[in-house]
């Protein structure tokens, strides 16, 4: 019997025990803590200390999201929520896999326990004690597995709540992103409209600043005068002495200029032997660009100028070539840029008598006008404030301010946004100073934009009038057009 029992024990050791120990390794008195790794592989937590539990992963991700929520933009927050939602889905999938693995473990443990129970009745002695110890360890493992399943269920519920929270947060973030995008688009459109309004306001300010520039200059001059007056109050004796001296010098200069002009006229009369004729009329005015020359009677026997025929001419400095100035048939004539360097002559016919008056010297250019025009030539378009006094020979009742544009290719006259005339330089265009008129003739010009459309324009000063004429002729010459007054182009071409 002893041998039979020994043989049975040996048989159990060879057949049953090795089969159990081949599948399960009991390295200690407690069941080891296993975890499910990648590809559903069982990983020992002691071998990989970096592996965290699902609860710790969820807690860490939640803490990171809460910390970054305040400093992330709306778009980054939405992306973070989407990543968190994906992570929660992944965690939920891992929990599902762990649950399935847990069920499989329960089945395996039950089968293992049944096998050990069946083995327990078939072994004796030390092997039986080992089997009972294995059964106890399997039961302890079952208890731990049950406890772990409870934790997994709780973690699954937390993961589900977190997934729902992240999903709702992601949807809210998307709504915020859409709202912020719509608000940003509205702000961009509003900014564009504001920029356009600012540009229009700047353009309007530039237009008004040109019109108010002269007023600002006058106000500045008034302020300078007021400053001088205040300074004079602090230093009355010195300033008053200087002003008296300047005033006296100016008076003396004017008197000497008049005396010099009178002597030049008397010298010319004596040279030409026409003293008897010149005693009836005389030519008054500064013989320079920007002034007016006026025929005045100097004798009681002089004929009435209103009943006389008057015609003005241009003479070469040597007196050889004589050119008729079309339309210059008044007693007043304002020299224009074509007259610079020429001698002006006026012929007066009364009944059977004919009188002739000439300037003592060629017409002088205006001081600083050449440099002023050269500065304007650099611009593509130059604007002048004018008043339209005549349109097609008919007086213009309104005295509203217009703007004359002198450009490199064309000229334009406008009032506000309405355009009166806009023509390119052509052979039908005419431009010259007003030939006749009152004291304002030096500030006015005649402009024929095209056949059948002409204007008489009054400028703010004689300097601007002469600058506009010279500038327009300069630009027209660049376009191979000779811009002059009536009948002047033919004479200049000959």
pLDDT digits over 174-211, tens only?
Answer: 788 788 888 888 888 887 888 788 888 888 878 877 77
Query: Final residue of a domain: which of 168, 200, 232?
Result: 200
pLDDT in tens, 333-366: 999 998 998 999 999 888 878 888 888 888 888 8
Residue 12, domain member (yes or no): no
CATH at 337:
2.60.40.2700
- The CA-atom distances, in angstroms, between 399 and each of 276, 409, 415, 466 are 46, 28, 11, 21
Computed over its alpha carbons, how large is the radius of gyration of the chain?
56
Residue 132 DSSP code: H
Check whether residue 353 and residue 373 sit in a common domain: no
- Tell me the pLDDT of the chain averaged across its residues: 76
Burial 182-220 (b: 16+ CB within 10 A, else e): eeeeeeeeeeeeeeeeeeeeeeeeeeeeeeeeeeeeeee
- Region of poorest pLDDT, from 235-239, 279-283, 490-494: 490-494
Query: Final residue of a domain: which of 200, 221, 252?
Result: 200
Residue 365 DSSP code: P
> What percentage of the chain has pLDDT greater than the value 70?
71
Please give the span between the terminal C-alpha atoms of the chain, in angstroms, as a whole number.
Answer: 159
CATH at 92:
1.20.5.440
Most confident stretch, 16-30, 275-289, 308-322, 470-484: 470-484
Check whether residue 86 and residue 185 sit in a common domain: yes
Residue 113, domain member (yes or no): yes
Query: Final residue of a domain: which of 200, 234, 256?
Result: 200
Q: Can you tell me which residue has the tokens 């601007």?
A: 464
Q: Which long-range contacts (CB under 8 A, 24 or more apart) does 7-15 make?
A: 8/122, 9/123, 9/124, 9/125, 9/127, 12/119, 12/122, 12/123, 12/127, 13/127
Check whether residue 97 and residue 164 sit in a common domain: yes
Show the domain range for 118: 79-200
> What CA–CA distance (Å, rounded) separates 195 from 455?
39
Check whether residue 340 and residue 386 sit in a common domain: no
Check whether residue 84 and residue 193 sit in a common domain: yes
Structural domains counted in the chain: 3
Residues sharing a CB contact under 8 Å with residue 440, sequence separation 6 or more, in sequence order: 458
Tokens of 73: 């933009």
* pLDDT score recorded for residue 404: 95
Residue 385, domain member (yes or no): yes
CATH at 466:
2.30.29.140
Nearest CA to 274 out of 331, 362, 357 is that of: 357
Check whether residue 314 and residue 395 sit in a common domain: no
pLDDT in tens, 427-438: 999 999 998 767
Residue 247, domain member (yes or no): no
> What CA–CA distance (Å, rounded) separates 435 from 417?
31
Residue 276, domain member (yes or no): no
């Amino acid at each position: 019997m002893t041998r039979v029992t020994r043989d049975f024990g040996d048989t159990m050791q060879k057949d049953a025990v090795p089969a159990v120990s081949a599948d399960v390794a009991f390295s200690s008195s407690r069941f080891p803590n296993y975890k499910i790794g990648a590809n559903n592989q069982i990983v020992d937590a002691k071998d990989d200390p970096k592996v965290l539990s699902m609860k710790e992963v969820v807690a860490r991700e939640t803490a990171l999201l809460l910390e970054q929520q305040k400093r992330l933009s709306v778009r980054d927050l939405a992306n973070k929520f989407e990543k968190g939602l994906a992570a929660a889905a992944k965690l939920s999938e891992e929990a599902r896999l762990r649950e399935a693995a847990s069920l499989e473990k329960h089945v395996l443990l039950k089968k293992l326990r049944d096998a050990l129970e069946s083995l327990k009745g078939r072994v004796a002695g030390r092997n039986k004690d080992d089997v009972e110890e294995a059964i106890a360890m399997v039961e302890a493992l079952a208890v731990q597995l049950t406890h772990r399943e409870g934790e997994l269920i709780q973690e699954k519920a937390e993961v589900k709540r977190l997934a729902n929270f992240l999903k709702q947060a992601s949807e809210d973030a998307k709504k915020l992103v859409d709202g912020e995008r719509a608000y940003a688009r509205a702000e961009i459109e509003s900014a564009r409209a504001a920029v356009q309004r600012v540009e229009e306001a700047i353009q309007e300010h530039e237009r008004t600043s040109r019109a108010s520039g002269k007023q600002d200059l006058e106000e500045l001059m008034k302020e300078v005068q007021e400053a001088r007056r205040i300074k004079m109050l602090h230093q009355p004796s010195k300033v008053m002495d200087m002003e008296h001296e300047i005033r006296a010098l100016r008076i003396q200069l004017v008197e000497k200029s008049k005396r010099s002009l009178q002597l030049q006229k008397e010298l010319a009369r004596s040279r030409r032997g026409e003293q008897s004729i010149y005693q009836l009329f005389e030519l008054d005015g500064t013989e320079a660009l920007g002034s007016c020359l006026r025929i005045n009677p100097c004798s009681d026997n002089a004929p009435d100028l209103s009943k006389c025929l008057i015609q003005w001419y241009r003479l070469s400095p040597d007196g050889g070539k004589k050119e008729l100035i079309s339309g210059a048939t008044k007693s007043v004539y304002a020299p224009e840029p074509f007259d610079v360097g020429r001698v002006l002559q006026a012929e007066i016919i009364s009944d059977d008598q004919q009188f002739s008056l000439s300037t003592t010297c060629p017409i002088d250019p205006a001081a600083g006008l050449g440099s002023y025009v050269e500065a304007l030539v650099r611009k593509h378009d130059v604007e002048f404030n004018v008043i339209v006094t005549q349109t097609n020979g008919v007086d213009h009742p309104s005295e509203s301010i217009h703007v004359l544009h002198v450009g490199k290719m064309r000229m334009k006259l406008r009032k506000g946004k309405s355009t009166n005339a806009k023509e390119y330089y052509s052979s039908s265009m005419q431009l010259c100073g007003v030939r006749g008129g009152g004291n304002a003739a030096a500030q006015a010009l005649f402009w024929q934009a095209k056949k059948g459309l002409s204007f008489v324009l009054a400028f703010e000063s004689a300097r601007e009038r002469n600058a506009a004429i010279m500038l327009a002729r300069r630009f027209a010459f660049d376009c191979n057009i000779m811009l002059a007054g009536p009948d002047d182009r033919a004479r200049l071409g000959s």
